[in-house]
Amino acid sequence: MTVDLYHMEVSAACRTVRLVAKTIGVNCNLKEVDLFAGEQMKPEFIKLNPQHTIPTLVDGDFALGESRAISTYLINKYAPGHRLYPDCPQKRALIDRYLYFDIGTLYKSIGDYFYPKLMFNKELEPDREKKLKDALGFLEAFLNGQDFLLGKEPTVADLSISCSLSMLEITSYGFPAFPIAEAYYNRLKQLPHWEECNAKGIEGFKQFAAGKLQ
């Protein structure tokens, strides 16, 4: 099966969808959208996604934005019951909780801290760094000595969070005083398809970010 994925190589969210799709055996027909050139504002793209964000998935006559929604949709449709998003209501509820934690707390804190500097050359704000460190502390508490969030096997939430954490590698911020989160990220990087779906985008973003965070 093949779906269209409107994406940008450097985007952590887009890399998440590609990683999930690759893991469950769904082919993505990649359609690059250059945000810096404003391609997301073209009428034909806004028709697909009025919010004009990437990633955006098109599966037949169905269009969907938001990487975590796309990821769970792909699993539900093409790999129901897959270990990334198992049928057990309690496991699924926990996975959903961690996906919401990613978008609402972890990735948000990373973006809130770094993007004003990267995009607009604004000063890094200490209070936003505190929120980032708080989020990393929550992540370590959720892991609670486990390899992954639900134990021995990674889930779609782990894959999503892995791409969010890649921003700490891209910015050379790392994991100050968070060795559990760092070890977790390094485990995630060893998963099948991770490097294939992330390496080029990470390197591209590193080149963009070079010198901007000095």
CA distance 24 to 15: 14
Annotated catalytic, 11?
A: yes
Per-residue CA distances from 102 to 2, 31, 55, 160, 202 (Å):
27, 25, 16, 7, 19
Task: Give residue for tokens 């790999």.
Answer: 79
Indicate which residue of 11, 71, 160, 166 is catalytic.
11
Distance CA 48, CA 6 (A): 10
* CB contact at 8 A, 153 and 83: yes
Active site residue ranges: 11
